[in-house]
Chains A and B, each alone.
Chain A
Amino acid sequence: MPLSTQSDQGDGQYVLVASLDNVRNLSNILKAIAFKDHALFNATPNGLKVTVEDSKCLQANAFIQSEIFQEFTIQEDSVSFQVNLTVLLDCLTIFGGSTVPGVTTALRLCYNGYGYPLKLFLEEGGVVTVCKINTQEPEEPIDFEFCSTNVTNKVILQSDSLREAFSELDMTSEVLQITMSPSQPYFRLSTFGNSGNAHYDYPKDSDMMELFQCTKTQTNRYKMSLLKPSTKALALSCKVSVRTDSQGFLSLQYLVRNDDGQICFVEYYCCPDEDVEEE
């Protein structure tokens, strides 16, 4: 197909068309969940949900609601496809990763439907880049059945403080242990590595703790390799909520503000590695 940048097929033919004046409002949030090559895209009239999973134990979702886009037109109730996220990010950031003040890259994302490649038109300073990325059959995402009514413990922390702990985590530890309790140590992250163990304790009255609702002492372990990627989402966010349910499933929800100050969400769900319940 000859590459002509000015014409595209006319919006009528596309099942999904989404435009952004600043592509970073999409690329940044996708970077927060880009720990695997493949991602599932699901578009509905509400917006875009992008899902990445790892070994059936971890699921990360990024939500970009339709209001964030300058244009969001969808011809069906639900449009899904799978695409290589690494390649997509290279395309979205084709003009470079860093920002130059006053200069933004515009994006127009078009999808014809099942079997068609995902088309991206990016423009910066009069230079246009056209990308066509092959799509694959969408897979069904896991439903962790994490329900708000099932939540045993919940805290909301300012991301800054948790970021420090996550960046220092002992990577020789196979697990990250999270203890949440109405009594000491309240909220504790622990690692057990080659050189010993480490505990990071956040008191419930810390000024970084925005909400503290713990009903029962719970200690759960999660595979470090699964949770470490969430550090990216943490870096991007201003607040994070940490919740565990009665089975020890972990939900991390990150509040992210984009370049224009609008709010988007990223969440991570993780299965416990072992259940260590302390009474």
Chain B
Amino acid sequence: MRFRAKILDVGCLNSFTRVVNTISKLTKTCTLRLTADNLYFMLSDKVANGGVSMWCELDQGNFFDEFQMEGVASDANEIYLELVPENLSRALRTAQNAKSLKAKLTKKHCPCLTLAAELPSLSSVSRVVTHDIPVDVIPRKLWHDFREPTVPDFDVSIYLPPLKTMKNVIDRMKNLSNFLVLEANRSGQMNLKIETDLVSVSTHFRDLGNPPCDGGSQGASQDLETMAQARVDIKKLQQFLSSQQVNPSKAMCNIVDKKMVHFVWLHENASLQYFIPAMA
């Protein structure tokens, strides 16, 4: 099992760092899956996470100048590692102006993902910072826990309003209630609602647009005005919106009525899916 990679371009390094920063704000631990072509940051929907799950996919060619890996076996050319993304984030943070960043799977006091950055210095000799991030290698027999979540048949798919507005509203709503109802229909309308004994607040977005129906997932007979809704934990929603470092090129959400909300973020070089279950 081997892994070696290198980033030489500062722009790529910054992009990669932003993705890792986002992941680190979403979860304390996650699984990193390495294949010949991609990297995946995954979080599966255990009770410990409050039922949320996450799947982030990156094309390694968009970030790395060199990328070599050898999986656990020839018929299973993949590596699954459990790690604390905050460590990775911290290691990358101080290397933002690096001339080069090398990553390697090593065995130190325990298996580690070692990052070494060559930094500019005042002398002819570069400064070198090395970080050994402890990882747990996940054995092959547990890999089935980490399959890409199947996107369920959703009732409504809609593009999200400007993230900043959504986040501002949700930040305030969080002060007023623990739960929020998110509802949307196929006429580009979305509402965020809270209701308590003291106050009720509803925010109405219009003309958001709905992504094209990709055959079969949405019943054609469904009324355009009918709202699909999910009642979710505001903190989880807020955490998701706060984690975003950069505005995605496309942001949408799919709602399975009374079951779950599925957010899909597309960036130029990465995609992120986040599932929040509905509460009773």
What is the interface of chain A, defined by CB distance below 8 A to chain B? 3, 5, 84, 86-87, 90-91, 93-96, 124-134
Complex contacts, A96 vs chain B, CB 8 Å: 164-165, 168, 171-172
Q: Which B-chain residue is minimally distant from A123 (CB atoms)?
A: B204
- Complex Cα distance, B203 from A5, in Å, reads 9
> Which one of A3, A128, A129, A134 contacts B198 once the chains associate, using CB atoms below 8 Å?
A134
**Residues B172 and A90 in contact, CB atoms below 8 Å apart:** yes
* Known contacts A94-B203, A127-B205; A87/B198 CB under 8 A: yes
Give 6 nearest A-B pairs by CB, closest first.
Answer: A96-B168, A129-B203, A131-B201, A90-B172, A133-B199, A94-B172
From the candidates B191, B198, B202, B205, name the one contacting A84 in the complex (CB within 8 A). Answer: B198
Cβ-defined contact, A91 with B198, below 8 A: no
**In the assembly, what is the distance between CA of A129 and CA of B201, in Å?**
7
Asked if B268 CB lies within 8 Å of chain A CBs, one says: no
Q: Mark B84-121, 1 if CB is under 8 A from A, else 0.
A: 00000000000000000000000000000000000000
B175 at the interface (CB under 8 A from A): yes
Q: Which residues of A sit under 8 angstroms from B169, Cβ to Cβ?
A: 94-95, 129
Residues of B within 8 A of A134 (CB): 197-199
With contact pairs A94-B169, A95-B168 given, residues A133 and B198 touching in the complex (Cβ less than 8 Å):
yes
Chain A residue with the shortest CB-CB distance to B165: A127
Interface of A is mostly: mixed
Interface residues of B in 185-232 (CB under 8 A from A): 191, 193, 197-207
* 10 A-B pairs in the complex with CB atoms less than 8 angstroms apart: A90-B176, A93-B172, A94-B172, A95-B169, A126-B207, A128-B203, A129-B203, A131-B199, A132-B200, A133-B198
How many chain B residues touch A (CB < 8 A): the figure is: 23
CB–CB B204/A131 < 8 A = no
A41–B42 CA distance with the chains assembled, in angstroms: 52
Chain A residue contacts of B200, Cβ below 8 A: 131-132
A3 to B191, CA, bound (A): 10
Chain A residue nearest to B197 in the complex (CB) = A134
Out of A87, A127, A130, which one reaches B176, CB within 8 Å? Answer: A87
Report B-chain residues with C-beta under 8 Å of the C-beta of A95: 165, 168-169
Which residues of B sit under 8 angstroms from A3, Cβ to Cβ? 191, 193, 202, 204
Secondary structure class of chain B's binding surface, majority of residues: mixed
Nearest CB on B from A247, distance (A): 39
Q: Does B71 contact A (CB under 8 A)?
A: no
Residues of B within 8 Å of A84, CB to CB, are: 198-199
B-to-A contact residues, CB < 8 Å: 161, 164-165, 168-169, 171-173, 175-176, 191, 193, 197-207
Rounded to whole Å, the gap between the CB of A36 and the closest CB of chain B is: 16
A130 to B193, CA, bound (A): 10
Question: Which residues of B sit under 8 angstroms from A86, Cβ to Cβ?
Answer: 175
How far does the alpha carbon of A3 sit from the alpha carbon of B172 in the complex, in Å?
A: 19
Complex alpha-carbon distance, A126 and B165, angstroms: 11
CB <8 Å contact, A130 and B206: no
Cα distance A125–B205 when bound, in Å? Answer: 10
Bound together, the chains give a CA A5 to CA B169 distance in angstroms of 17
Residue in contact with B199 in the complex, picked from A5, A91, A126, A127, CB distance below 8 Å: A91
Q: How far is the CB of A119 from chain B (nearest CB, A)?
A: 10
Complex CA gap A263/B191 in Å reads 37
Distance (whole angstroms) from the CB of A121 to the closest CB of chain B: 11
Minimal beta-carbon separation of A206 from chain B (angstroms): 41
A220 to chain B, nearest CB (A): 37
Q: Which residue of B lies closest to A120 (CB)?
A: B201
Roughly how many angstroms separate A208 CA and B202 CA in the complex, as a whole number? 47
Q: How far is the CA of A128 from the CA of B202 in the complex (A)?
A: 8
Give Cα A5–Cα B206 distance, bound, in whole angstroms: 11
Contact A128 B199 (CB under 8 A): no
Q: Which one of B175, B193, B204 contacts A128 once the chains associate, using CB atoms below 8 Å?
A: B204
CA distance A96 to B202 in the complex (A): 15
A125 and B202 form a contact (CB under 8 A): no
- Report the separation of the CA atoms of residues A3 and B189 in the bound assembly, to the nearest whole angstrom: 14
Q: How far is the CA of A91 from the CA of B201 in the complex (A)?
A: 8
Q: Which residue of B lies closest to A131 (CB)?
A: B201
- Give complex CA distance A134, B197 in Å: 8
**Quick one: which of B165, B173, B198, B201 contacts A125, CB cutoff 8 A?**
B165
> What is the minimal beta-carbon distance from A37 to any residue of chain B, in angstroms?
10
Cα separation A93 to B165 with both chains bound (whole Å): 12
Task: Flag if B165 contacts A90 (CB, 8 Å).
Answer: no
Cβ–Cβ < 8 Å partners of B171 in chain A: 96
CB distance from A127 to the nearest CB of B (A): 6
Residue picked from A5, A94, A128, most chain B C-beta under 10 Å: A94
Flag if A5 contacts B204 (CB, 8 Å): yes
Taking the closest CB of chain A, its distance from the CB of B224, in whole angstroms, is 18
Closest to A5 in B: B204
A126 touches B175 (CB 8 A): no
Q: Which residues of A contact B191 (CB under 8 A)?
A: 3
Contact A94 B198 (CB under 8 A): no
Q: How far is the CA of A86 from the CA of B175 in the complex (A)?
A: 9
